[in-house]
Amino acid sequence: MILILLGPPGAGKGTQAKLLASKLQIPHISTGDMFRDHKARGTELGKTVDAIMSSGGLVPDDVTNAMVKDRLSRPDVAGGFILDGYPRTTAQAGFLDQVLVSMGRKLDRAVSYEIAQELLVDRMSGRRSCPTCGAVYHVTANPPRTAGACDREGAALVQRDDDKAETVARRLREYDSKTEPLKRYYHERGSLSEVAGTGAPDEVLAAALRVLGRAS
């Protein structure tokens, strides 16, 4: 199954992608995680995207598209994959269409997580993640067993540097102007399903599995 997860920053795409990847046994491909990994490793790409991400802007399409194309050339995508945070512009969506054609593959569904804007700011300001394994928590909605420490690794949890209030506001504006129009793009192609992003993570997962015809 080939899935795209859409939704504003903080909607729960990463949280849901991890749950879906485990349920469907297909890889979770997050362009945000890939860029953060490059930053952490200090690669040339990481240096290029650092300032853009910290300001809440979008990385240029050509840079993002090249990274995704390379990722989709790996053998682990043979059984399907979940794209989280990509595509984010109409140009990226058109590029992905071409890559899928060249792979002889077809998108199954674009799932859009719907959530009121007021809730997003709280989700992002309360988010903490594990620098070692990438697990994502929320200080009140999804806290670790021990405050400030990863359940799996025990590592001290960190806050993303783009989760500061002023950067969050820019990310939300970028979403509204450049990414939200993709809902129409996929709706017109008969591929869009909207799922409520509110409720507990396992309730949101169950709703997505229903629209994907995978409810158990």
Task: Verify binding: residue 14, Mg ion, rule CB under 5 A.
Answer: yes
Which amino acid, residue 21? A
- Supply the minimum distance, in Å, between the C-beta of residue 157 and ligand AP5: 10
Angle, CA of 125, 127 and 128, to the nearest 5°? 125
124 touches 10 (CB < 8 A)? yes
Q: Is 126 exposed, middle or buried (0-12, 13-18, 19+ CB in 10 A)?
A: middle
- Supply the minimum distance, in Å, between the C-beta of residue 79 and ligand AP5: 23
Task: Verify binding: residue 201, ligand AP5, rule CB under 6 A.
Answer: yes
Task: Verify binding: residue 136, ligand AP5, rule CB under 6 A.
Answer: yes
Which amino acid, residue 26? I
Among 20, 26, 35, 39, binds ligand AP5 (CB under 6 A): 35
Task: Verify binding: residue 39, ligand AP5, rule CB under 6 A.
Answer: no
- Dmax over CA atoms of the chain, in Å, equals 47
Question: Can you give the binding site for ligand AP5, defined by CB under 6 A?
Answer: 7, 9-15, 31-32, 35, 52-53, 56-59, 64, 85-86, 88, 92, 123-124, 126-127, 136-138, 141-142, 162, 171, 199-201, 204
